[in-house]
Chain A
Protein backbone atom coordinates (compact mmCIF):
# COMPACT_ATOMS: atom_id res chain seq x y z
CA UNK A 1 0.00 0.00 0.00
CA UNK A 2 1.08 3.55 -0.67
CA UNK A 3 3.20 4.95 2.18
CA UNK A 4 1.35 8.28 2.19
CA UNK A 5 -1.99 6.52 2.45
CA UNK A 6 -0.76 4.48 5.44
CA UNK A 7 0.43 7.68 7.15
CA UNK A 8 -2.92 9.36 6.47
CA UNK A 9 -4.95 6.41 7.78
CA UNK A 10 -2.72 6.11 10.85
CA UNK A 11 -3.10 9.82 11.56
CA UNK A 12 -6.88 9.57 11.20
CA UNK A 13 -7.02 6.62 13.61
CA UNK A 14 -4.78 8.41 16.10
CA UNK A 15 -6.86 11.59 15.80
CA UNK A 16 -10.09 9.68 16.37
CA UNK A 17 -8.58 7.98 19.43
CA UNK A 18 -7.38 11.31 20.85
CA UNK A 19 -10.80 12.93 20.31
CA UNK A 20 -12.74 9.95 21.71
CA UNK A 21 -10.45 9.71 24.75
CA UNK A 22 -10.82 13.39 25.61
CA UNK A 23 -14.57 13.32 24.92
CA UNK A 24 -15.34 10.37 27.20
CA UNK A 25 -12.94 11.47 29.95
CA UNK A 26 -14.49 14.95 29.97
CA UNK A 27 -18.05 13.60 29.82
CA UNK A 28 -17.42 11.21 32.74
CA UNK A 29 -15.72 13.91 34.81
CA UNK A 30 -18.60 16.34 34.20
CA UNK A 31 -21.25 13.76 35.12
CA UNK A 32 -19.34 12.83 38.28
CA UNK A 33 -18.84 16.41 39.38
CA UNK A 34 -22.33 17.66 38.52
CA UNK A 35 -24.49 14.89 39.96
CA UNK A 36 -25.10 14.05 43.57
CA UNK A 37 -27.14 10.84 43.80
CA UNK A 38 -27.69 11.43 47.51
CA UNK A 39 -29.46 14.73 46.87
CA UNK A 40 -32.87 14.17 45.28
CA UNK A 41 -33.53 17.88 45.01
CA UNK A 42 -30.36 19.00 43.21
CA UNK A 43 -32.24 19.05 39.90
CA UNK A 44 -34.80 21.51 41.27
CA UNK A 45 -32.12 23.89 42.52
CA UNK A 46 -30.23 23.89 39.20
CA UNK A 47 -33.16 23.75 36.80
CA UNK A 48 -35.30 26.41 38.48
CA UNK A 49 -32.46 28.52 39.88
CA UNK A 50 -33.74 28.35 43.45
CA UNK A 51 -32.17 30.03 46.44
CA UNK A 52 -31.43 28.54 49.86
CA UNK A 53 -34.69 29.80 51.43
CA UNK A 54 -36.82 28.28 48.66
CA UNK A 55 -34.84 25.07 48.80
CA UNK A 56 -35.34 24.85 52.57
CA UNK A 57 -39.14 25.12 52.14
CA UNK A 58 -39.12 22.59 49.30
CA UNK A 59 -36.95 20.28 51.37
CA UNK A 60 -39.50 20.37 54.21
CA UNK A 61 -42.36 19.68 51.79
CA UNK A 62 -40.38 16.86 50.19
CA UNK A 63 -39.59 15.23 53.53
CA UNK A 64 -43.27 15.45 54.49
CA UNK A 65 -44.42 13.96 51.21
CA UNK A 66 -42.02 10.95 51.06
CA UNK A 67 -43.66 8.87 53.87
CA UNK A 68 -47.13 9.41 52.36
CA UNK A 69 -45.81 8.41 48.95
CA UNK A 70 -44.13 5.30 50.38
CA UNK A 71 -47.36 4.35 52.18
CA UNK A 72 -49.37 4.65 48.95
CA UNK A 73 -46.74 2.66 47.04
CA UNK A 74 -46.95 -0.12 49.63
CA UNK A 75 -50.76 -0.16 49.33
CA UNK A 76 -50.54 -0.34 45.51
CA UNK A 77 -47.95 -3.13 45.67
CA UNK A 78 -50.15 -5.10 48.09
CA UNK A 79 -53.19 -4.59 45.83
CA UNK A 80 -51.17 -5.79 42.82
CA UNK A 81 -50.30 -8.99 44.69
CA UNK A 82 -53.99 -9.48 45.51
CA UNK A 83 -54.85 -8.98 41.84
CA UNK A 84 -52.16 -11.46 40.76
CA UNK A 85 -53.53 -14.04 43.23
CA UNK A 86 -57.06 -13.57 41.90
CA UNK A 87 -55.82 -13.76 38.31
CA UNK A 88 -53.96 -17.04 38.92
CA UNK A 89 -55.45 -19.87 36.86
CA UNK A 90 -58.30 -17.69 35.61
CA UNK A 91 -59.12 -17.55 31.92
CA UNK A 92 -61.71 -14.78 32.07
CA UNK A 93 -62.31 -11.52 33.90
CA UNK A 94 -64.55 -12.41 36.81
CA UNK A 95 -66.38 -10.01 39.08
CA UNK A 96 -63.67 -10.54 41.69
CA UNK A 97 -60.91 -9.64 39.20
CA UNK A 98 -62.89 -6.57 38.11
CA UNK A 99 -63.27 -5.51 41.76
CA UNK A 100 -59.50 -5.81 42.36
CA UNK A 101 -58.78 -3.84 39.18
CA UNK A 102 -61.16 -1.10 40.36
CA UNK A 103 -59.52 -1.01 43.78
CA UNK A 104 -56.07 -0.81 42.19
CA UNK A 105 -57.19 1.98 39.87
CA UNK A 106 -58.71 3.87 42.82
CA UNK A 107 -55.47 3.56 44.77
CA UNK A 108 -53.44 4.77 41.80
CA UNK A 109 -55.81 7.71 41.31
CA UNK A 110 -55.51 8.59 44.99
CA UNK A 111 -51.72 8.37 44.79
CA UNK A 112 -51.67 10.52 41.64
CA UNK A 113 -53.90 13.13 43.27
CA UNK A 114 -51.57 13.22 46.28
CA UNK A 115 -48.57 13.54 43.97
CA UNK A 116 -50.17 16.38 42.00
CA UNK A 117 -51.06 18.13 45.23
CA UNK A 118 -47.40 17.90 46.25
CA UNK A 119 -46.31 19.34 42.89
CA UNK A 120 -48.74 22.24 43.35
CA UNK A 121 -47.41 22.93 46.85
CA UNK A 122 -43.81 22.83 45.62
CA UNK A 123 -44.64 25.10 42.68
CA UNK A 124 -46.17 27.65 45.09
CA UNK A 125 -42.88 27.96 46.97
CA UNK A 126 -41.11 29.01 43.77
CA UNK A 127 -41.26 32.36 41.96
CA UNK A 128 -44.46 32.45 39.85
CA UNK A 129 -42.87 31.85 36.46
CA UNK A 130 -40.61 29.06 37.71
CA UNK A 131 -43.54 27.51 39.56
CA UNK A 132 -45.63 27.38 36.39
CA UNK A 133 -42.74 25.86 34.49
CA UNK A 134 -42.14 23.29 37.25
CA UNK A 135 -45.80 22.27 37.35
CA UNK A 136 -46.01 21.92 33.57
CA UNK A 137 -42.77 19.92 33.50
CA UNK A 138 -43.88 17.57 36.28
CA UNK A 139 -47.30 16.99 34.72
CA UNK A 140 -45.63 16.22 31.40
CA UNK A 141 -43.14 13.83 33.03
CA UNK A 142 -45.68 11.99 35.16
CA UNK A 143 -49.15 12.14 33.61
CA UNK A 144 -47.83 12.90 30.13
CA UNK A 145 -46.27 9.45 29.83
CA UNK A 146 -49.74 7.88 30.21
CA UNK A 147 -51.21 10.25 27.66
CA UNK A 148 -48.50 9.42 25.15
CA UNK A 149 -49.12 5.72 25.59
CA UNK A 150 -52.89 6.17 25.25
CA UNK A 151 -52.44 8.32 22.16
CA UNK A 152 -50.11 5.82 20.55
CA UNK A 153 -52.54 3.01 21.33
CA UNK A 154 -55.55 4.90 19.97
CA UNK A 155 -53.64 5.81 16.80
CA UNK A 156 -52.59 2.16 16.41
CA UNK A 157 -56.19 1.06 16.79
CA UNK A 158 -57.40 3.66 14.30
CA UNK A 159 -54.71 2.51 11.92
CA UNK A 160 -55.83 -1.07 12.22
CA UNK A 161 -59.47 -0.08 11.73
CA UNK A 162 -58.62 1.70 8.48
CA UNK A 163 -57.29 -1.59 7.17
Chain B
Protein backbone atom coordinates (compact mmCIF):
# COMPACT_ATOMS: atom_id res chain seq x y z
CA UNK B 1 0.00 0.00 0.00
CA UNK B 2 2.88 2.25 0.81
CA UNK B 3 4.12 1.94 -2.71
CA UNK B 4 0.72 3.06 -4.10
CA UNK B 5 0.70 6.31 -2.17
CA UNK B 6 1.93 9.18 -4.27
CA UNK B 7 4.95 11.05 -3.18
CA UNK B 8 4.29 14.77 -2.94
CA UNK B 9 6.83 15.31 -5.69
CA UNK B 10 5.00 12.82 -7.92
CA UNK B 11 1.71 14.64 -7.35
CA UNK B 12 3.35 17.78 -8.45
CA UNK B 13 4.66 16.13 -11.59
CA UNK B 14 1.22 14.74 -12.33
CA UNK B 15 -0.37 18.15 -11.98
CA UNK B 16 2.25 19.62 -14.29
CA UNK B 17 1.64 16.87 -16.84
CA UNK B 18 -2.13 17.48 -16.74
CA UNK B 19 -1.56 21.17 -17.32
CA UNK B 20 0.85 20.54 -20.18
CA UNK B 21 -1.70 18.31 -22.01
CA UNK B 22 -3.59 20.45 -24.47
CA UNK B 23 -7.34 19.98 -24.20
CA UNK B 24 -8.62 19.62 -27.78
CA UNK B 25 -11.60 21.72 -28.71
CA UNK B 26 -14.76 19.68 -29.20
CA UNK B 27 -16.32 19.58 -32.63
CA UNK B 28 -19.47 21.62 -33.10
CA UNK B 29 -22.71 20.05 -31.75
CA UNK B 30 -20.62 17.36 -30.06
CA UNK B 31 -22.98 16.80 -27.20
CA UNK B 32 -26.06 16.71 -29.46
CA UNK B 33 -24.36 14.15 -31.71
CA UNK B 34 -23.40 11.99 -28.77
CA UNK B 35 -27.01 11.91 -27.58
CA UNK B 36 -28.25 11.16 -31.10
CA UNK B 37 -25.89 8.20 -31.36
CA UNK B 38 -26.98 6.92 -28.00
CA UNK B 39 -30.62 7.16 -29.09
CA UNK B 40 -29.84 5.38 -32.36
CA UNK B 41 -28.09 2.59 -30.52
CA UNK B 42 -31.02 2.14 -28.17
CA UNK B 43 -33.63 2.23 -30.95
CA UNK B 44 -34.89 -1.20 -32.19
CA UNK B 45 -32.99 -2.63 -35.16
CA UNK B 46 -34.31 -1.60 -38.60
CA UNK B 47 -36.33 -4.11 -40.71
CA UNK B 48 -34.05 -6.49 -42.74
CA UNK B 49 -34.42 -6.44 -46.53
CA UNK B 50 -36.22 -9.31 -48.35
CA UNK B 51 -32.83 -10.61 -49.45
CA UNK B 52 -31.60 -10.83 -45.86
CA UNK B 53 -34.87 -12.50 -44.83
CA UNK B 54 -34.53 -15.05 -47.64
CA UNK B 55 -30.89 -15.74 -46.78
CA UNK B 56 -31.86 -16.25 -43.14
CA UNK B 57 -34.62 -18.65 -44.21
CA UNK B 58 -32.23 -20.63 -46.43
CA UNK B 59 -29.77 -21.00 -43.58
CA UNK B 60 -32.38 -22.57 -41.33
CA UNK B 61 -31.50 -26.30 -41.18
CA UNK B 62 -35.13 -27.42 -41.32
CA UNK B 63 -35.85 -25.35 -44.42
CA UNK B 64 -32.57 -26.42 -46.10
CA UNK B 65 -33.33 -30.09 -45.46
CA UNK B 66 -36.90 -29.77 -46.76
CA UNK B 67 -35.76 -27.94 -49.89
CA UNK B 68 -33.01 -30.49 -50.60
CA UNK B 69 -35.48 -33.37 -50.13
CA UNK B 70 -38.01 -31.72 -52.45
CA UNK B 71 -35.33 -31.17 -55.09
CA UNK B 72 -34.11 -34.78 -54.88
CA UNK B 73 -37.69 -36.11 -55.16
CA UNK B 74 -38.49 -33.81 -58.10
CA UNK B 75 -35.24 -34.80 -59.83
CA UNK B 76 -35.84 -38.51 -59.33
CA UNK B 77 -39.45 -38.26 -60.55
CA UNK B 78 -38.68 -36.23 -63.65
CA UNK B 79 -35.56 -38.30 -64.39
CA UNK B 80 -37.57 -41.51 -64.17
CA UNK B 81 -40.24 -40.10 -66.52
CA UNK B 82 -37.62 -39.03 -69.03
CA UNK B 83 -35.71 -42.30 -68.61
CA UNK B 84 -38.87 -44.27 -69.30
CA UNK B 85 -39.48 -42.27 -72.45
CA UNK B 86 -35.85 -42.71 -73.52
CA UNK B 87 -35.93 -46.45 -72.79
CA UNK B 88 -39.10 -46.80 -74.89
CA UNK B 89 -37.47 -44.89 -77.71
CA UNK B 90 -34.32 -47.06 -77.53
CA UNK B 91 -36.36 -50.26 -77.50
CA UNK B 92 -38.36 -49.05 -80.50
CA UNK B 93 -35.15 -48.17 -82.38
CA UNK B 94 -33.78 -51.59 -81.47
CA UNK B 95 -36.82 -53.36 -82.92
CA UNK B 96 -36.87 -51.15 -85.99
CA UNK B 97 -33.18 -51.79 -86.66
CA UNK B 98 -33.82 -55.54 -86.56
CA UNK B 99 -36.78 -55.56 -88.98
CA UNK B 100 -36.22 -52.54 -91.21
CA UNK B 101 -32.67 -51.88 -92.43
CA UNK B 102 -31.64 -48.26 -92.78
CA UNK B 103 -31.50 -48.52 -96.55
CA UNK B 104 -35.27 -49.00 -96.58
CA UNK B 105 -36.15 -46.15 -94.26
Chain A residues engaging chain B, CB cutoff 8 angstroms: 2-5, 7-8, 11, 15, 18-31, 34-37, 40-44, 46-47, 62, 65-66, 69, 73, 76, 108, 111-112, 115, 118-119, 138, 141-142, 145-146
Q: Which of B75, B98, B99, B103 contacts A22 (CB 8 A)?
A: B75
Please tell me if B91 contacts chain A, counting CB pairs below 8 Å. Answer: yes
Please tell me if B59 contacts chain A, counting CB pairs below 8 Å. Answer: yes
Interface of A is mostly: helix
Does the CB pair A73–B103 fall under 8 Å?
A: yes
Please tell me if B6 contacts chain A, counting CB pairs below 8 Å. Answer: no
Contact count band on B: 35 or more
Please tell me if B68 contacts chain A, counting CB pairs below 8 Å. Answer: yes
Interface of B is mostly: helix
Complex CA–CA separation, A3 to B47 (angstroms): 16
> Among B7-15, B16-24, B32-40, B81-89, which stretch is in contact with chain A?
B81-89
**10 residue pairs bridging A and B, Cβ less than 8 Å apart:** A23-B75, A23-B82, A26-B75, A26-B80, A30-B86, A31-B83, A35-B90, A69-B99, A69-B101, A119-B99
